[in-house]
Every structure is written in structure tokens, then in C-alpha cells.
Amino acid sequence: MGDGTDRAGGPDAEPGPERRRRIGTLMRGLAIDITPLRRSRDYRVMWTGQLIGLTGRQITAVALPFQVFLLTRSSLAVGLIGLAQIVPLVAVGIGTGPLADRVDRRRLIVLSELGLALTSLLLLAGALWGRPPLWYLYVLAGAQAGLSGISGPARSASIPNLVAREQLPAAMALTQVLFNTSMIVGPALAGLILARYGLTWAYGAELASCVGSIAAALMLRPLPPKREEGSEVPSGWLAIREGFSFLRGRRVLLSTFAIDLNAMVFGMPRALFPVLALQVFRVGPEGLGLLYAAPSVGALLGALTTGWVGRIRRQGRAVVWAVAVWGLAITAFGLSGRFFGLALVCLAIAGAADVISAVFRGTILQLSLPDTLRGRISGIHIMVVTGGPRLGDVEAGLVASLVSPWFSVVSGGIACVAGAAILAATVPEFLGYSARDERLLEQ
């Protein structure tokens, strides 16, 4: 009595078990759900192998533009890497999607990883060459993009068969963790390796990662596509046409493709990172690696706190807001001047918004597809999500060469926000989409 302590739990009381329980519940609700990794051996093996392989490819994603910029001092030449990649990416993405619906998906993964190891070896040979011609680098960049277009649909189409339906949002979030971890570690390693050891060691590191990825792929059990009894998957152009026919008229699915393409084409300033790092911020190869890694730092933090995504009812609306935030953050990056730290923060915010968009878009896609079409539609989807940034490289490099790098970044961010607003206004069913309403899957 009179000691200032409310033993019944007044304002001076210490936090009790109930308050700690509520805090613990809140934190668990925010933390990422790792159930698919715990319960599915093959998902765990595929996830680990993909993490190893993508980390190596992200080293090359920094080393190759750096090499081209050193050879040419041209942002347009760097942007043309994207043009070299987009043609094989589109051709292979459309052509091999049907294969993922017909043959063992494990076999496709193994063969594509072997091809990627060969391209890594040839890039290493080019670095030892000293000054390889641009065409040599562009051809290898295109080959890597095409091979990734084989592996991607096979992996993506396998996920719904490796995890339970209710675990699919968690698997999508874990896939984003995988992508963004590789896109942090890979560029950061690339910056350090390029600064201290040079291009030869950078390409050698990617070759080593390919070996690890191949080993993991060989550990997978066979992954044959599931087929309904009596159904046959058509071959060749018939299969491709069937995939596009499925998409025709499904405005919700098409909107997931369109809004991501809008964000990546107009709001992806990646091709400008070499000129910004070396001539504007003057932070060298290490800083270049940080520019490439910064969006993925934000994306990883965003992915690790996706425990709440399963409680969102209107996934389409969440995608629109996330893409708008991405565009605003890219605009702010373009207005950051010479403040390197501020630029990194803006890129990290953009990355966090992008991963939220990707989780919801991936969930909409996978819940909308029959297994007999997953390879084909996943091929088209991966063509969009990986081809968009390549088109963005060309757009950013071209505008920068005509006006300035900063104008290219700011105008692209504004165009991204405008595109999201236009889609929201013209496709109201996308704004109203809910995975809980199966009728909307037909829209």
C-alpha cells in the first residue's frame, strides 16, 4: 500500500504473461511461414539448389554490365544486354512451357543447369581473353537468358505439386526470400570480387555455383506433370496456342502480367547503375554491388514479414498499391542527387513493395491454373517477369543517352505510378479480386 505499484495490473505494473503472449502472437503473425520447407523434402532440395544457382547468376548480373561499361563507357551498350536477352527469353519461354507440361520437369531443370554451367565457362574464357568483342558477351547473355527460360517454368510449375494448397502462399513467399537473398548476396559478393580480384574470379564464382545447383537438381525425385485421366497435352504450336487461349478473356490473370510489365519496363533503372556508381556517386565496384543489392535488401525484409499476406482479402488491390509504392520509391531514388545512402534507402523501399506485389501475383497465378497448363502459363509468366526488366534496361539506357540518367529514372518512376492507376481504373475486377471467391478465377 502506498508503494506506487498496482498489483492488479495498473499502469505501473510490469508486463504480464498475457501481454507477452499477445506480443508473441503478433510477431508470429508477421514472421514468414516456413512450413513448406519443413514438410516437403523435394521443395526444400529445389529451394536450396535454386538459391545456390541464382546467387552465382546474380554475380554475373553485376559483372557483365560492369565489363560492358568498362569496354564502351556507354549506358546504351549496357542496356542492349537486355535486348540481347529478351529475344531468346521470349522464344524459349513460349516454346519450352509446353515441355514442362509433357515431360519430367526434373530433367528440364538438370539440362538447363548444365547449359548454364557451359555459358559460365565461356564467360570465364572471355575474361581471360582480356577484351572480348561485344557480340561475344551479348550472345552469352542471350544464351543464359534462354536457358533460364527453360529452368524457370519447370521449377514454378512443380511447386503446387510439392506443397499442400493451403501452403501455397507460404511457398510463394519463400520463393521470394530465395530470389531476394540471392540478389543481395550475389551483387554484394560481385562488388567485392570485382574490386579485389577482377572479372575472372567473378565468373569463376558463378561456375562454382552452377556445380552446386546441378548437384541439388540431381537429388530431386522425378517430377512428372499430373494429367487428368484421358487427357493429352498437345505438342508444338497447338500447345502454345492452348496456353494463350486459356489466358484470353481472363482479365484478372492478364492484369497480373500487365501491371508487372509496367513496373519493370518503366521503373527499372538497373542499366544505369554502372554509370551512376562510377561517374555520379563515385563509389567504385563495391558501391555498384550495393546498388544492385539494395532493392533485394528491402525485398528480403518484406518477404520475411509476410505472415500477414494470407489475411488479405483483396489481393488485386494489394498488387496495385504495391506497384504504386515501387514507382514512387524509384522516383525518389531519381531525386536523391549525390546522396548515396538516401539512394540505397529508396531502392530498398522499392524492393519491399515489389516483393509484396510478387507474392500476391504469384498466388493469383497458381490458384488460377489447372496442372495441365501450369508449364505453359508459367513459361509466359516467367517470360514477362524476367523479360520486363530486360526491356526496362533498354528503355532506361536509351532515355539516359538521349537526355540524362536522372531524367530516365524520374520519368520512369512517374510512368510506373500512372500505369498502375490506369490499370486500376480500367480493370475493376482486378481491384476486387479475392482468392476466396472461386468465381473470380474465371475472370
Q: Taking a C-beta distance cutoff of 8 angstroms, is the pair 130, 71 a contact?
A: no
Under the banding of pLDDT at 50, 70 and 90, the label for residue 187 is very high
CA distance readout (Å), 400 to 33, 79, 329, 332: 42, 10, 19, 17
Question: Does residue 261 belong to any structural domain of this protein?
Answer: yes
Higher-confidence residue of 259 and 240: namely: 259
Higher-confidence residue of 308 and 12: namely: 308
Counts of helices then strands in the chain (DSSP H, E)? 17, 0
pLDDT at 238: 67
Tell whether the model's pLDDT for residue 231 goes beyond 60. no
Question: Does residue 12 belong to any structural domain of this protein?
Answer: no
Domain residue limits at 152: 34-226+233-442
pLDDT at 22: 60
Question: Does residue 6 belong to any structural domain of this protein?
Answer: no
- The answer for 410, left when phi > 0, alpha when psi is -120 to 50, beta otherwise, is alpha
Question: Does residue 189 belong to any structural domain of this protein?
Answer: yes
Tell whether the model's pLDDT for residue 5 goes beyond 50. no
Higher-confidence residue of 375 and 140: namely: 140
pLDDT at 90: 78
pLDDT mean over 299-310 = 77
Rounded to an integer, what distance in angstroms lies between the CA atom of residue 259 and that of residue 103?
A: 31
Helices (H), 268-312: 273-275, 284-304
pLDDT digits (tens, 9 = 90+) for 100-122: 777 888 999 999 999 999 999 99
pLDDT digits (tens, 9 = 90+) for 142-186: 999 989 888 877 888 888 889 887 888 788 888 878 988 999 999
Tell whether the model's pLDDT for residue 206 goes beyond 90. yes
- Percentage of the chain with pLDDT > 90? 53
CB neighbourhood size of 71 (10 A) = 14
Q: What is the CATH number of the domain that holds 139?
A: 1.20.1250.20
pLDDT mean over 221-248 = 70
Question: Does residue 15 belong to any structural domain of this protein?
Answer: no
Mean pLDDT of the chain: 85
Question: Does residue 2 belong to any structural domain of this protein?
Answer: no
Question: Does residue 249 belong to any structural domain of this protein?
Answer: yes
31: DSSP letter: S
Domain count along the chain: 1
In single-letter form, the type of residue at position 273 comes to F
> What does pTM read for this prediction?
0.80
Question: Does residue 412 belong to any structural domain of this protein?
Answer: yes
Q: What's phi and psi for 40, nearest 5 deg?
A: -115, 110
pLDDT mean over 13-36 = 62
Tell whether the model's pLDDT for residue 23 goes beyond 60. no
Rounded to an integer, what distance in angstroms lies between the CA atom of residue 75 and that of residue 394?
A: 9
* DSSP string for 278-290: IIIS--HHHHHHH
